[in-house]
Amino acid sequence: MFTGLIEKCGIIKSCQALALEIAVEDVWSDLQFGESIAVNGTCLTLERQQGSVLTFHTLPETLKRTNLGALAVGSMVNLERALRLGSPLDGHLVTGHVDAAAKVRRWQQLPGGDMLLTVELPENIRALVAEKGSIAIDGISLTVVSVSENEFTVELIPVTRNNTALCQRRSGDPVNLEADLMARYAARYIQAINTPSSNITMEKLFSAGFIK
């Protein structure tokens, strides 16, 4: 579990079918083999550390479902270690399970230095994204400003824009999206209570021969 508050940025050194290598300039001093680290919001397991280079095991499915497989060597990525019990939860609960990789549509400069980011909204999470709700973009905890049928916007303060990997993302680039965990459970509950109950009864199972 993560908070969506980016701790460091790294640079992709190599990306192959089963291994992703990331160089980190000021690497953590107490990393443990097997611990979880969110890389652009994707929960990955640390396999090896050689100096400032971290190696993660990556499945082909992970590379296909997230933007990690589309980013070129030299691209910047966001990094966050897993949340420890008792640590402040300053963002929102992020699982590191990416729902979709969607394209950046446009950036807009706002008065005061903030930036408005518009991202396409994939069909599979449309019901989970709401105005003033939370969403993780490349692992960053952000608040949704507005939502339409096929896109949504978030506002970034200069610190977030300039000190995360989002500073490299341009129109057409893919970013990883994870919908809010609470929205996911709420949607599932609504679906369950609106689903008609099964008409299978013990009598029907007896008569059909499934129960002797």
The rounded distance, in Å, linking the Cα atoms of 71 and 151 is 22
Contact present, 40 and 176 (Cβ < 8 Å)? yes
Is residue 174 a contact partner of residue 102, using CB atoms and an 8 Å limit? yes
What gap in Å lies between CA 175 and CA 105, rounded to an integer?
Answer: 11
pTM of the model: 0.87
Q: Chain-wide mean pLDDT for the chain?
A: 90
Tens-digit pLDDT profile for the chain (212 aa)?
Answer: 899 999 999 999 999 878 999 999 999 989 999 999 999 999 999 999 999 999 999 988 899 899 999 999 999 999 999 988 777 777 888 999 999 999 999 999 999 899 999 999 999 999 999 999 999 999 999 999 999 999 999 999 999 999 999 999 999 999 999 999 888 888 777 777 776 665 666 676 567 665 55
Whole-angstrom Cα distance, residue 167 to residue 50?
A: 27
Structure tokens at 60: 């082909």
Cα separation, 49 vs 33, in Å, equals 8
